[in-house]
Amino acid sequence: MRNFRIWRGDASSGALEDYQVEVNEGEVVLDVLHRLQATQTPDLACRWNCKAGKCGSCSVEINGMPKLACMTRMSTFTADETITVTPLRTFPVIRDLVTDVSYNYVKAREMPAFSPPPDLAPGEYRMQQVDVERSQEFRKCIECFLCQNVCHVVRDHEENKLAFAGPRLFIRAAELDMHPLDARTDRKEHTRDRQGVGYCNITKCCTEVCPEHIKITDNAIIPMKERVVDRRYDPLVWLGRKIFRRDQVEQQAAAEDTTPAPASPETVTHRASPGQVNWAQEIQVPPAPAVGPDGRFAMSEVLIDRAGAPSPFGDDVTFPVDPEQLRYLHPRTDED
């Protein structure tokens, strides 16, 4: 018989409750939680799947430390020790040990996906083992979100959740930036501006709790910070930027960046049937204003190639636009 204190409750209220439960030799905390379900509290909510440390579902906090319940052996506690099991603190609680981890999925969705090289067909990819190894380490991630949970940037400061993506997504950024065939070139900027890598103060708790022993800080976050330095904090580049005002041009490019990267072959072949809107159709991005190679507007009217301001829709759009080219479906009122 061992003493367990388990947090029971939901979003409205909750408290640590004491349980006396039988523990057999060789068991892990998850086994004990299962025994509690089977014998005392059939409705004790906890997540689990593989029970082998491979799926990352059973993340909880055991004696205050974020851990996988399936990988925490009972033999690591002394016989008279009370074991406290609580839900992950950083995420909203659903019930008992189950939390709402959608923050992580939302952040994952904001991460631009792998961008395949446009000129290679399936089966033509050639990559050397040394080139894929760094990214492979990050792909070991089982998405248990212990790193996201332990990171004080969001754990202790809820308001940072908007601006900060978290260690799990930094290793994703590093994975893609180090991918030998990824075609995107703006990942460093994305990591700084959209993921908030600057919030990380490399106190390494993510690495400490990682059950897959991924060197999150040393191999992903710090390299990404250094890559950001390459682009953003090189004093000479910075000076040039300030003097020639390239900042503004780039911000504009970043704003346009919400359109997808090179369309994948599948989208191109996809055709809408008549009467339907072809949602997959690429809308032409209006061309950027005419700036010179130095990123600046022409200083003199003498040098500009037209009278008046450029068209806000781009110079090559003529009106009226062909309705087939629009991504707009006019609502029909005669139905239903």
Partner 1 sequence: MTTTGAESAPGPSKAQPAVTTRPRAAIAERTLRKDRWWLPPGIVAIGLAAWVTYATVRVFLKENYWVAEHHYLTPFYSPCVSLECIPEAAHFGRFVPDLPILPYAVISLPILLLFRLTCYYYRKAYYRSFWLSPPACAVPDGHARYTGETRFPLVLQNFHRYTFYLVVVITAINTWDMFLAFGGEAGFGIGLGNLVLLLNVIFLWLYTLSCHSCRHVTGGRLKHFSKHPIRYRWWTFVSRINPKHMQFAWISLGTLALVDAYVMAVSAGWITDLRFFN
Partner 2 sequence: MSIQRHQYDVVVIGAGGAGLRAAIEARLAGAKTAVISKSLFGKAHTVMAEGGAAAAMGNVNPGDSWQVHFRDTMRGGKFLNDVRMAELHAKESPERVWELEIYGALFDRTKDGRISQRNFGGHEYPRLAHVGDRTGLEMIRTLQQKIVSLQQEDRAATGEYESRLRVFDETTVTELLLEDGKVAGAFGYDRESGEFLLFEAPAVVLATGGIGRSFKVTSNSWEYTGDGHALALRAGGKLINMEFIQFHPTGMVWPPSVKGILVTESVRGDGGVLKNTEGQRFMFDYVPDVFRAYYADTPEEADRWYDDPDNNRRPPELLPRDEVARAINAEVKAGRGTKAGGVLLDIASRRSAEFIQRKLPSMYHQFKELADVDITAQPMEVGPTCHYVMGGVEVDADTGAATGAVEGLFAAGEVSGGMHGSNRLGGNSLSDLLVFGKRAGEHAAAYATALPSRPRPSQADVTTAEEAALAPLARGDGENPYALQQELQDVMQSLVGIIRRRGELEDSLQRLAELRERVDKVGATGGRRYNPGWHLALDLRNMLVVSECTARAALEREESRGGHTREDFPDMKPEWRRVTLVCSLAGADEVRLAQQPVTPMRPELAGLFERDELAKYYTPEELSSATADLG
Rounded Cα gap, residues 168 and 59, in angstroms: 14
Site for partner 1 in 37-66 (CB under 8 A): 61, 63-66
Site for partner 2 in 193-252 (CB under 8 A): none
Site for partner 2 in 276-295 (CB under 8 A): 279-281
CA angle 218, 173, 125 (to 5 degrees): 110
Determine the 3-state secondary structure of 10 from DSSP: strand
Nearest-CA neighbor of 120 among 37, 209, 182, 56? 182
The option from partner 2, partner 1, none interacting with 91 (CB < 5 to 8 A, set by class) reads partner 1
Q: What is the smallest separation between the CB atom of 180 and partner 1, expressed in angstroms? A: 6
Site for partner 1 in 277-336 (CB under 8 A): none
**Cα distance between the two ends of the chain:** 65
Of 13, 78, 128, 300, the residue at the interface with partner 2 (CB under 8 A) is 128
Determine the 3-state secondary structure of 66 from DSSP: strand
The option from partner 1, partner 2, none interacting with 21 (CB < 5 to 8 A, set by class) reads none
Q: E strand or H helix at 86, and its extent?
A: strand 83-86
Nearer to partner 1, 47 or 155 (CB): 155
Site for partner 1 contains 87 (CB under 8 A): yes
Site for partner 1 contains 211 (CB under 8 A): no
Reading the block at residue 110, the tokens are: 């904001």
Nearer to partner 1, 64 or 323 (CB): 64
Of 34, 35, 47, 232, the residue at the interface with partner 1 (CB under 8 A) is 232
Site for partner 1 contains 201 (CB under 8 A): yes
- Determine the interface stretch with partner 2 among 39-47, 80-88, 186-194, 286-294 (rule: CB under 8 A): 39-47
Site for partner 1 in 151-170 (CB under 8 A): 152-153, 155-158, 160-164
Rounded Cα gap, residues 166 and 302, in angstroms: 51
Nearer to partner 2, 47 or 89 (CB): 47
User: What CA dihedral angle connects 39, 42, 46 and 52, to 10 degrees?
Assistant: 40
Nearest-CA neighbor of 86 among 148, 14, 2? 14
- 168 and 174 in contact (C-beta within 8 Å)? no
> What one-letter code names the amino acid at 241?
R
Where do we find the tokens 């839900």?
87
Nearer to partner 1, 70 or 192 (CB): 192
Site for partner 2 contains 186 (CB under 8 A): no
CB within 8 A of 203, min separation 6: which ones?
152
Site string for partner 2, 81-120 (x = CB under 8 A): -------------xxx-x-xx---x--xx-xxxx-x----
Nearer to partner 1, 35 or 95 (CB): 95
